[in-house]
């Protein structure tokens, strides 16, 4: 994934009866010889800009990873990954933004598929609609 980009992972279905939960989220640089600092984030809604800021008060943020592999790191070398256990039934969006040392990044996401009944499907869909609406109005 190139710096300052966004990928869409298409997960929505016509009836919304399939839900997902992130079970694994990992990131790594392109090779072992590249100095790189990146933030990779997973959102429930598309993002208009990519940032390195991680704001857990944002209810559309599903996961975040910080990757640091530079010769003079500000933080410990390696990666720090945090993800939410929330169930969602719509597309997700992965963003990449470099800090001082940018480049391409790789990410790996494992999802657990969950069959949703009508009330769970409706609740998940309404929550996603509310998130999209709140982004439009702010």
pLDDT at 70: 63
Domain spans in the chain, listed from the N-terminal domain onward: 5-137
Q: What would the mean pLDDT of 90-100 be, rounded to a whole number?
A: 91
pTM here is: 0.84
14 half-sphere exposure, CB direction, 13 A CA radius: 0
pLDDT at 33: 67
Per-position b or e across 56-74, b if 16+ CB within 10 A of its CB: eebebbbbbbbbbbeeeee
Q: Quick check: 25 and 108 in contact, CB under 8 A?
A: yes
pLDDT at 40: 94
Assess whether pLDDT exceeds 60 at residue 77.
Answer: no
pLDDT at 78: 61
The pLDDT-based confidence of 135 (bands split at 50, 70, 90) is: low
Q: What would the mean pLDDT of 116-129 be, rounded to a whole number?
A: 79
- Highest mean pLDDT among 28-32, 59-63, 70-74, 91-95 belongs to 91-95
Q: What percent of the chain has pLDDT over 70?
A: 84
């Amino acid at each position: 994934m190139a710096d300052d980009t966004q990928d869409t992972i298409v997960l929505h279905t016509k009836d919304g009866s399939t839900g997902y939960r992130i079970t694994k989220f990992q990131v790594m640089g392109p090779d072992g010889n590249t100095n790189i600092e990146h933030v990779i984030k997973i959102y429930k809604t598309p993002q208009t800009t990519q940032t390195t800021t991680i704001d857990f008060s944002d209810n559309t943020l599903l996961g975040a990873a910080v990757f640091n592999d530079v010769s003079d790191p500000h933080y410990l070398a390696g990666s720090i990954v945090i993800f939410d256990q929330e169930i969602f039934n719509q597309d997700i969006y992965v963003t990449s933004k470099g800090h001082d040392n940018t480049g391409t990044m790789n990410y790996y996401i494992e999802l657990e598929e969950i069959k949703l009944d009508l009330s769970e499907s409706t609740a998940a869909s309404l929550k996603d609609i509310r998130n999209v609406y709140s982004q439009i109005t702010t």
